[in-house]
Amino acid sequence: MQFFLNVVEFGMPVQQATEAANFNSNQLWLSLGGTKLEDRKPRPGSILLNNNNTKKLHETN
């Protein structure tokens, strides 16, 4: 969704939208990845930060 919005709403070229800072949550079951059921379970309260996010965001609790 963020990629789509970056291109359509914010006018970013595809490369820039791909590399843009973003975050994701583990609120839903993962449909791909992991070899065990435990790897795919939701993890409420857990977020995944892209390395392109600012250091200040990574340090925020």
Pick from 30, 28, 21, 25: which is nearest to 3 by CA? 21
pLDDT in tens, 8-46: 999 999 999 988 877 777 777 666 666 777 777 777 777
Global pTM? Answer: 0.50
Alpha carbon of 29 to those of 10, 41, 42, 45: distances in Å?
A: 29, 5, 5, 14
Ranges assigned E (strand) in the chain: 23-25, 47-49
